[in-house]
Amino acid sequence: MFSRDKWNEIIEALSANPFRTLITAFGVFWGIFILVILLSASQGLQNGIKRQMGGLSTNTMFMWTQPTSKPFKGLPQGRSFNFKNPDVEALKRDIDGLLYVSPRNQLGGFRGSNNVVRGEKTGAYNVYGDYPEFILQQPMDILKGRFINYGDIENNRKVTVIGEGVIRELYAPGEEPLGSYIKVQGVNFLVVGVYKSISNMGGDAEESQKQLFIPFTTFQQAFNYGDVVGWMTITAEDDKPITDLKEDIFKLLKDRHTVDPTDDRAIGHFDLYQEFKKINGLFSILTAVSYIVGIFILGSGIIGIVNIMLIIVKERTQEIGIRRALGATPAVIIKQILTESVVLSLIAGMAGIIFASFVLALINLGLENAPNSDQIPIVNPSVHLGVVVIALIILVIAGLLAGLIPAITAIRVKPIDALRTE
């Protein structure tokens, strides 16, 4: 590999007809370019989904009550019931593998009547009663102040954390929200924090900035909810999928609320882990399809290299005969042909990778500078270094396969016959 004469011979063979070599190499160049672009697009879509989720804990389930669909122990079908505070403690105590169990309650909404007042300004916003760990299940950026803490929970403090959208609509430009009071359903709350949502999952990105969070215990007390829990957000430990735990959760709660164990409609739920697995499965299929399409296109380029190498061998038949007559072994001839094939494949493939990298850099630049770039579903389309290494291995193997048939053809020619070739 480090023989100057050998490399001069390779260059001479490939440059004998530059246009033909260029056209042949273009097939490999285009195949590896398409492979890298397709894999990058798939990765970009995955990055976009992750950005929209904004760090949302995916091993999570949302759970709420619904009217029963079966009578049980003298209780009628269609009976309504609610989760209670003791249910939360029972889940934490009796179900192993749960990381967070967050009870939640909600008031209002942007489609409802105005429920928040500040001075002469009013607005209709979602008001949530939450525990401090909720910010670990659905991360958000705290721009000013703080989020709810357990001191607020234990002392039933009337404090709230508000979104940027609430500030834009209820406060004058430049006005400091921290330390101010706003009125929710006639109850005054002290603003202790300002958040910005980093997740767009499950709704309008703009409306996700127009929410208020208050301590769960304060919510129940201020709005006469007693010990009612509207719904729960439950996150399992990383090594225990929530999908595997939810049947035990349902069984425990059905027993506590006298619900038929076979009533699948009494407790509604949304299994985020299960849905995320489906999304990951879809991206795995997209990646596999990208590899298949790219390799097929690359294969057409390899066929072109086989053809060009066969032509080169045909043109060099007399030269091969002379080398055989001077003592060159079949292994030397095969090694020379294979080396030429691999070099051509690698040069064309590396050119394709470099060009794809340049195109991806331009695409990323355009995405970063595009208006409303946070709404574009593709983020940082790129490929890992491992993919480039795999592509290089594919190129080497493809080059060896492309040179194998011409090499075998070359050594089948007898030296005496090769010398007679015009």
CA atoms of 146 and 160, how far apart (whole Å): 10
Would you state the pLDDT for residue 384? 77
Residue from 63, 219, 247, 210 nearest 148 by CA: 219
Whether residue 310 has pLDDT greater than 80: no
The more confident residue out of 42 and 253 is 253
The count of C-alpha atoms lying within 13 angstroms of the C-alpha of 347, restricted to the half-sphere facing its C-beta, is 15
Q: Given pLDDT bands bounded at 50, 70 and 90, which one contains residue 201?
A: low
More confident residue, 371 or 200: 371
- Which of 207-221, 340-354, 405-419 is modeled with the greatest confidence? 207-221
Banded model confidence at residue 404, pLDDT cuts 50, 70, 90: confident
Predicted local distance difference test score (pLDDT) of residue 70: 92
CB atoms within 10 A of CB 253: 20
| pLDDT at residue 398 in the model | 74
User: How many C-alpha atoms does 262 have within 13 Å on its Cβ side?
Assistant: 3
Rounded to whole angstroms, the Cα distance separating 317 from 417 reads 9
pLDDT of residue 393: 80
CB-based contact 305:27 (threshold 8 Å) = yes
Question: Rounded CA gap, 110 and 166, in Å?
Answer: 11
β-partners of residue 342 are none
Distance of CA 92 to the CA centre of its chain: 31
* Residue-level pLDDT at 40: 87
Residue 79 main-chain phi, psi, to 5 deg: -70, 135
Q: Quote the percentage of the chain above a pLDDT of 70.
A: 88
Neighbours of 256 (CB within 10 A): 15
Q: Which one has a higher pLDDT value, 147 or 279?
A: 147
Instruction: Round to whole Å and give the CA distance between 300 and 265.
Output: 55
Range 67-85 average pLDDT? 93
Is the model's pLDDT at 42 over the cut of 60? Answer: yes
Residue 406 has pLDDT above 80, yes or no: no
Mean pLDDT across the stretch 197-213? 74
Kindly tell me if the per-residue pLDDT of 419 is higher than 60.
Answer: no
Residue-level pLDDT at 250: 95
156: pLDDT strictly greater than 90: yes
Q: State which of 128-132, 202-206, 280-284 shows the largest mean pLDDT.
A: 128-132
